[in-house]
Structure 1
């Protein structure tokens, strides 16, 4: 439920101040997002990129024919992980 909140934004995104958290005297100013939020069109992609980099750092590799399949040989075991990101 909160995976998308961990995605890093590559572009600048501004939103209205959340209701109840407005800065007095500056109600017309916007807030710059530092992380993705649910509902942003960038959220699924930014989360995918974050988890992709994490898996690569842990020794997983993408298969050339299926970019959502990650494989890692761990001693005598073969670990296969399918990653599917959806905004539903």
Structure 2
């Protein structure tokens, strides 16, 4: 999901990291995007379930089981013309959205 974005979005960079203390991982991607937040949500409301993610009660947040851990896909923006897409997970089963 980090490589997919609404039409007209331009990749701006990716990042990843982990925290050994929390056993938390994060991977994300930024995209330059001139569209609206509504367009972003509409796009991911279709693209995420097609890739096996299920919606949550929080708009722009999706969940998926990966190797016994719940991973969360979050979509934010575009704020200041930047759309952020992140995947977060930890072994403590924390709610990430």
Shorter-chain TM-score above 0.5: no
| TM-score range normalised by the length of the shorter chain | 0.3 to 0.5
TM-score (norm 2): 0.41
Structure whose residues are more often strand by fraction: 2
* Structure with larger RCO (C-alpha < 8 A, sep 6+): 2
Structure whose residues are more often helix by fraction: 1
TM-score (norm 1): 0.44
The structure with more radius of gyration: 1
